[in-house]
Amino acid sequence: MPESAQSATPVTFPPAFLWGAATSAYQIEGAVREDGRTPSIWDTFSHTPGKTAGGETGDIAVDHYHRYRDDVALMAELGLSAYRFSISWSRVQPTGRGPAVQVGLDFYRRLVDELLDKGIKPAITLYHWDLPQELEDAGGWPERDTAHRFAEYAQIVGEALGDRVEHWITLNEPWCSAFLGYASGVHAPGRTDPAASLRAAHHLNLAHGLGTSALRSAMPARNSIAISLNSSVVRPLSQTEADLAAVRTIDDLANGVFHGPLLHGAYPETLLASTSSVTDWSFVLDGDLRAIQQPLDALGLNYYTPTLVSAADADPKGPRADGHGASSHSPWPGADDVAFHQTPGERTEMGWTVDPTGLHDLIMRYTKEAPGLPLYITENGAAYDDKPDADGRVNDPERVAYLHGHLRAVRRAIAEGADVRGYFLWSLMDNFEWAYGYQKRFGAVYVDYATLARTPKSSALWYAQAAKTGTLPPLETT
């Protein structure tokens, strides 16, 4: 039976399950020049002509910096038990090094206090792609020093907020930072250098390891430290040896490059072999792998859609259908012999196929790969072309069905023994969708970009009912 199918049996989650929503700083805060904040790579990138749809930027975004109290009140009305947000590094440490700006930290102190006051657990992501521009000017993630700078920043934020925030995530989707930022260039800083992207991946791993140690030294031991990976569910077009080899190549570049060192203390041999024409990996220094493999308290999984691959046919230069934006440069170093295919089925506004079985498979994979490690779904959601009706209501039945199907997949995995402790829908509200600007709406809450007014969509009301009761409401009540 498909995951999205109805069933008469109520789908109920464990009582302690966290019902959350997620956002990130650059996508929602705005106020980019206030209180000492300096540009991040995303300010620079979005202000560079031709980099984002319509030249849109996060200058104002959805003005959360000024409206955070109302946004938290809305979360409380929706019955959320947790809220995942990220810290803008350059608001806290404008040059990416040295002492913190207290006024920058104060914004996050107020946000955290507001959340705690409403009984909502804050979950902090330290890095969601907005590297201080000064650090990029010094070489960015391909430079080893950036990992040390991250550890210093983690220490500052851990000391400031570790007494009241239990859930910590070092990095969000380092795959995007490394490969969309430095290989395909569709994300900031927009570089197209495959060797640099692999260096970046390693230094992001190192940043996670050094940052985790810094957080542990700065905070009470009860706090949980995790990383959020956008681990791909990579499937073969056919069962031929060549297509299965293509799966191996992409799985290594999407997943193994991170979970190898994080969970097992080594990069996969097959990854080192498939990328040998790109780099010799001599940037991995003695002791790095030990520094990276810090004990984790949890693993965050971000899932949207599966990836379908095969061995490349005679025309490997044809359009790539890997769903990661338009660029003539591949985000997959050393994988020119792999072709990407659209998975069949219904698609979201991003062109991403709706397939909850991928989420189930991902959870079960990490249940086996990292036995005993609690899992959180730190992002899952869909963009649709939502519009208010004549009465100002925003009805988004497709998103309700998406959430319903994926939450059922999570519940099925729990029933099969997976330790999934919470789910954060992406996103709380419509926001700046990176290179797509404001054209893709992922929010459960609609934002009118002319007035910045917030209106919960029908999916937010559906999700609120699930959060408040711990049971998925049937689809027909929405």
Do residues 243 and 261 touch, judged by C-beta distance below 8 A? Answer: no
* DSSP line for 407-423: HHHHHHHHHTT--EEEE
Do residues 95 and 132 touch, judged by C-beta distance below 8 A? Answer: yes
Residues in region 162-201 near ligand IFM by CB under 6 A: 173
- Site map 388..427 versus ligand IFM, x via CB under 6 A: --------------------------------------x-
Place of tokens 């069905």: 401
By CB under 6 A, residue 24 contacts ligand IFM: yes
Do residues 394 and 430 touch, judged by C-beta distance below 8 A? Answer: no
In the complex, least distance from residue 469 CB atom to ligand IFM, rounded to whole angstroms? 27
How many whole angstroms separate alpha carbon 425 and alpha carbon 446? 14
How many whole angstroms separate alpha carbon 391 and alpha carbon 262? 50
Residue 392: count of CB within 10 angstroms of its CB: 10
Instruction: Please say which residue, 17 or 442, places its beta carbon nearer to ligand IFM.
Output: 442
How many whole angstroms separate alpha carbon 458 and alpha carbon 469? 17
How many whole angstroms separate alpha carbon 59 and alpha carbon 222? 37
**What's the sign of the alpha-carbon dihedral 98, 101, 107, 112?**
positive
> Of the candidates 68, 201, 433, 446, which one interacts with ligand IFM according to CB under 6 A?
433
By CB under 6 A, residue 302 contacts ligand IFM: yes
In the complex, least distance from residue 229 CB atom to ligand IFM, rounded to whole angstroms? 11
Place of tokens 């805060």: 29
Instruction: Please say which residue, 27 or 38, places its beta carbon nearer to ligand IFM.
Output: 27
Place of tokens 């999916």: 459
> Of the candidates 243, 379, 398, 419, which one interacts with ligand IFM according to CB under 6 A?
379
Choose among 262, 270, 336: nearest CA to 299: 262
Instruction: Please say which residue, 77 or 346, places its beta carbon nearer to ligand IFM.
Output: 346
What H or E segment, with its residue span, contains residue 223? Answer: none
What H or E segment, with its residue span, contains residue 147? Answer: helix 145-161
In the complex, least distance from residue 440 CB atom to ligand IFM, rounded to whole angstroms? 7
By CB under 6 A, residue 322 contacts ligand IFM: no
In the complex, least distance from residue 62 CB atom to ligand IFM, rounded to whole angstroms? 13
Choose among 35, 36, 40: nearest CA to 57: 40
Instruction: Please say which residue, 83 or 442, places its beta carbon nearer to ligand IFM.
Output: 442
Instruction: Please say which residue, 173 or 419, places its beta carbon nearer to ligand IFM.
Output: 173
Instruction: Please say which residue, 162 or 443, places its beta carbon nearer to ligand IFM.
Output: 443
Place of tokens 């380092």: 174
* DSSP line for 348-362: -TTS-B--HHHHHHH
Choose among 226, 189, 204, 263: nearest CA to 84: 226
By CB under 6 A, residue 430 contacts ligand IFM: no
- Site map 436..465 versus ligand IFM, x via CB under 6 A: ------x-----------------------
* DSSP line for 371-410: TT--EEEEE----B---B-TTS-B--HHHHHHHHHHHHHH
In the complex, least distance from residue 169 CB atom to ligand IFM, rounded to whole angstroms? 12
Which residues carry out catalysis? 173, 379
Instruction: Please say which residue, 426 or 463, places its beta carbon nearer to ligand IFM.
Output: 426
User: How many residues interact with ligand IFM (rule CB under 6 A)?
Assistant: 8
Q: Where are the beta strands (DSSP E) in 56-120?
A: 82-86
Q: Where are the beta strands (DSSP E) in 209-319?
A: 224-229, 234-236, 299-302, 307-311
By CB under 6 A, residue 29 contacts ligand IFM: no
How many whole angstroms separate alpha carbon 123 and alpha carbon 150? 18
Do residues 350 and 273 touch, judged by C-beta distance below 8 A? Answer: no
Instruction: Please say which residue, 27 or 275, places its beta carbon nearer to ligand IFM.
Output: 27
Instruction: Please say which residue, 176 or 472, places its beta carbon nearer to ligand IFM.
Output: 176
Which spans of this chain sit near ligand IFM (rule: CB under 6 A)? 24, 27, 173, 302, 379, 426, 433, 442
